[in-house]
Each structure stands twice: as C-alpha cells, then as structure tokens.
Amino acid sequence: MQEINQIMLQSSEAFKKYRKLSGKQKAPFLRAIAEEIEALGMDLVQTAMQEANLPEARLVGERGRTTTQLRMFADMLEEGSWVDARIDTAKPDRQPLPKMDLRKMLIPTGPVVVFGASNFPFAFSTAGGDTASALASGCPVVVKGHPGHAKTSAMVAGAIERAAERTGMPAGTFAHVDGGDGFEVGKALVMHPQTKAVAFTGSFGGGKALFDMANQRPEPIPVFSEMGSINPVVLMPEKMSQDAENVALTYAGSITVGVGQFCTNPGLIIGIEGTDLEKFLDVLSDEIEKIAPGTMLNAGIYKNYDAKRTIALAQNGVVTESVSKISKTAETQGIPTVASVSGDIFLANPTLHQEVFGPYSLIVKCKDLAQLTEVLGHLEGQLTATLMATENDLKANEEIVDTLRNMSGRLNFNNVPTGVEVCYGLQHGGPFPSTTDGRFTSVGPDAIKRFVRPATYQSFPEDLLPDELKTSNPLNIWRIVDGEFRK
C-alpha cells in the first residue's frame, strides 16, 4: 500500500494548487478530457465492447453522454453561479452592534476517490459523472479502475492524463489505480487521511462497506454510494382499465433494456387483482417470451442474477408468469423473466423486496387500494417510483402520490423509470438504502455539490476577495446580496 500512500499525498499536494484555479482555468481541462476521449475513436468503444459485453450503439451513445457531461460542467464553471455566493454587506451604524461584512461561497473539500460502475464503463466510471463533477468542483480525483473493464478504464485514464498535461493542470490532479478486485486497495484509498470524499456506484454490500469504513476513520468523510433499488411501478385502476395493453408493451421493453442492468430498472410492479391486471400480465408475458436472453456485463453479474432469480422464483407463493422462449447462446446470458405474487405474501416475505439485478420483474397483485397502500408503506428508499395513472387516479389517491414521493428520489408519471437525463431537473439519488445519501444527486449539474462546502470571508478587503464575492461582481454571476437574488 506504499503506492496508495504516495498517490494520495500527491493528490493532496495537487489540491493546494488546483483549488486555487478559477472556473475559467478549469473548464479547458474538462473540455480537453472530452476531446481526448473522442480522439481514442472506435478503439475505445471496441475495448469496452469486449470487456463489458455491451453493444456498439449503446457504448457510442454512452460515450456521447460522458463527453456531454464533461462539457456541461465546463459550461457551468465558465458561467460561475454554481458557487451559491451570498453577500451580506456591512452595516457599521446598526444598533446595538454593527453588522460585519459577510460573504460566503462554495469551496472544494479535497481529494475524491471514485469507484466506477460495471454497468456504465464510460458515463459512471473513470471519466464519468463522479470524476467530472469532482474535477469541476476543484477537487483532485483518484479513480480505482473497475476490474470489469480494466483496459477501458486505463485508456480513459490516459485521456484524462493527456488532457491534464496539455492544459497545464498541477501534477497529481488525476490519478488512476489499477487495483483489480483487491478489497485492500479500495480500503487503503478510503482510509487514507488525505481522502476527503468517496463516490461509488455498485452493489449494496460494496457501497455500504465503504460508507462504514469512512465513518470509522478518525476524521469521518462523506461517501456517496449509489446502491440497489427495485424502483416500484404502481398501476392505478383507471389507467389500467383504459390502457393495460400499452402499459404492458412499454414495460416489457423497460424490464429488459440493457439486459435489465440499469439501476433504474423496474423490478417491482404493483397493481390490483382483476381482469385489467390479468390482461396486462398476458400481454407482458407474451412480450417477455419473445425477448432474447442477453449477455450480461460479466460472469459475476450473471451468476448473481441467476442465483437471486432462482431464490426469488422459489419463494412460497411466487408464480413464474413468463420466461423468454428464446434459447441462450452463451453461458452468461440473463433470461428475461416475470413473476407474480399476492399482496399478502409480498407483505410477509422481505426476501421479495430485494433487488434482482437483471431482466426480472415481480408483479404484486394486491386485493385493493388499501393493500396496495400497505405494500408501498413496507418498501425502503428508492431511486425512482413510477405511477401509471390517469389524472383522476392521481387526484383520487393523493396519499399514494405523497408516499411514493417521500420514498424516492424521482417520481415518474406514465413513463418508464429507465432513462436518466443529465440536467438540473433530474435527481438521481434516493433515500437509504438506494443511496447512502439521498440529499445529493450523482447525475446532472448539482452533482458538483457533493464535493464542496460553504466558506465565509468576514470583513475582507474587496481586492483580496475571490472574484465570486467581490462587490463589483466581475464574473457577472447570480448571487444573494443582502437577501435578494441578483446579478
């Protein structure tokens, strides 16, 4: 672990220089990363295809998302208002005591350790949203390369290093650790005194272990782990009476897209028993049977899917509704599967509340709306929750809307939960255990808020204040000045 110590000390030294760079100085670095990734061309895409078993079109799209994110943060740095500047000017004549001049803005907290996700080798890995937002905030980044796409990660790390060099970033601003599967390497990174925050996307076990370690440090640090989520979908009565078939067609796609390997995959669909739900199940089953098994990210993910699916289907009262009728052509292909269970049994068996990561969904058949509400009350925190409903359904069931909103990071109306837009309006991060900290998003501009804290300057001379806080507002950013939003 001597190597880890050296990397973190370099990162900490880099922080002393990197934190002083302005937004306009950091933005070209982020743009250069995007360019260097693009310059790797199809070599990079093909490497990822081989390592992560993902199709070309998907990876080309994901690469676009990754470079778009980097440029979005560059735009944000150039615009500058993200620092949440707040200025209260002095009132020397105030009675009984004068009011001091107080000016606050967000500043970076220090080196960030990033653990990439297996299911997004570009957008949630080496140069993904965690790295982009941390570098944008002014924090150096150390990435532990994901063993599932080690070569891809090394190639992207090379792109970041070239970008850092050609834009003159301090040595150590970015580092890449090829730790393989080693738990010890991850632990050493999280426990190092110079590490100030951790970002992780993956399993509950992995994310929670990092969180626990970080809290047991002499100086605890925040860990932003995105973990598991079953993303409940609620089928409301009027909607189902009007549209059960279309809902089923839509959900057959959402359950199986990307071989079910999205964190927002709809793993639980809750409806009310009756002819509408049976029609939904019939159409859904027909569709699922026609969808071919797909090769999963890696052998570990496949084994895990196979094991959890087997356990779920073997639970007392669980009915296997449909299984793909198309034969597997490779060992590590996940079989599209839909099962069902009664509300009573679901309520009594917590095993059924757990995520089965892959192309699987469980339909819960509730007796009535009261039982449906009870089922929702038993669910844990989720990344997303979805209502398939008419406006009448919503108006007649405000409690259900309220419950779903308070359970999830994103409440979705008549859509599929898969598909996560990169924008201000999107929250990707829900109450525990879907993430370790639902107060932050890992997607979109606000992801930068994970790696900063507010700092106040009291009674500082104008010319020694950061530009963000100068009375003259040279950056022309939005600020709260004496209680009012203004430029």
Given 226, 287, 321, 468, the catalytic residue = 226
What are the structure tokens assigned to 116, written together? 């990439």
> What would the x/- binding string for its own copies be over residues 392 to 431, using CB under 8 A?
--xx-----xx--xx-xxxxxxxx---x-x-xxxxx-x-x
Q: Is 166 in the site for its own copies (CB under 8 A)?
A: no
> Other CB atoms closer than 10 Å to residue 273's CB: what's the count?
16
Residue 413, beta-bridge partner list: 387
Strands 337-342 and 319-323: antiparallel
In the complex, the smallest distance separating the C-beta of residue 225 from its own copies, rounded to whole angstroms, is 11
Q: Which stretch binds its own copies (CB under 8 A): 139-147, 300-308, 321-329, 453-461?
A: 453-461
Burial environment of residue 191 by CB neighbours within 10 A (0 to 12, 13 to 18, 19 or more): middle
Comparing CB distances to its own copies, the nearer of 214 and 240 is 214
Q: Is 253 in the site for its own copies (CB under 8 A)?
A: no
User: What's the CA gap between 433 and 360, in Å, rounded?
Assistant: 20
Comparing CB distances to its own copies, the nearer of 371 and 436 is 436
Q: Which among 231, 322, 254 has a CA at the least distance from the CA of 283?
A: 322
Q: Is 229 in the site for its own copies (CB under 8 A)?
A: no
Q: Is 457 in the site for its own copies (CB under 8 A)?
A: yes
- Binding its own copies (rule: CB under 8 A), the pick from 6, 310, 351, 458 is 458
Comparing CB distances to its own copies, the nearer of 69 and 441 is 441
According to CB under 8 A, which residues from 271 to 330 bind its own copies?
A: none
Catalytic (active site) residue 331: no
In the complex, the smallest distance separating the C-beta of residue 353 from its own copies, rounded to whole angstroms, is 14
Residue 37 dihedral angles phi and psi, to the nearest 5°: -65, -45
In the complex, the smallest distance separating the C-beta of residue 3 from its own copies, rounded to whole angstroms, is 24
- Binding its own copies (rule: CB under 8 A), the pick from 115, 122, 174, 211 is 211
Comparing CB distances to its own copies, the nearer of 219 and 327 is 219
In the complex, the smallest distance separating the C-beta of residue 301 from its own copies, rounded to whole angstroms, is 25
Catalytic (active site) residue 366: no
Total binding residues toward its own copies, as defined by CB under 8 A? 73
According to CB under 8 A, which residues from 88 to 107 bind its own copies?
A: 88, 96-97, 99-104, 107
Comparing CB distances to its own copies, the nearer of 299 and 370 is 370
Strands 197-201 and 112-115: parallel
Comparing CB distances to its own copies, the nearer of 316 and 459 is 459
In the complex, the smallest distance separating the C-beta of residue 306 from its own copies, rounded to whole angstroms, is 28
Q: Is 222 in the site for its own copies (CB under 8 A)?
A: yes
Q: Is 378 in the site for its own copies (CB under 8 A)?
A: no
In the complex, the smallest distance separating the C-beta of residue 169 from its own copies, rounded to whole angstroms, is 18
According to CB under 8 A, which residues from 109 to 128 bind its own copies?
A: 109
In the complex, the smallest distance separating the C-beta of residue 109 from its own copies, rounded to whole angstroms, is 8
Comparing CB distances to its own copies, the nearer of 160 and 169 is 169
Given 263, 321, 355, 468, the catalytic residue = 263
Residue 225, beta-bridge partner list: 200
CB 48, CB 149: distance < 8 Å: yes
User: What's the CA gap between 202 and 484, in Å, rounded?
Assistant: 41
Comparing CB distances to its own copies, the nearer of 146 and 208 is 208
Burial environment of residue 245 by CB neighbours within 10 A (0 to 12, 13 to 18, 19 or more): middle
Q: Is 432 in the site for its own copies (CB under 8 A)?
A: yes
According to CB under 8 A, which residues from 49 to 78 bind its own copies?
A: 61
User: What's the CA gap between 376 and 329, in Å, rounded?
Assistant: 38
Which residues participate in catalysis according to the annotation?
Answer: 226, 263
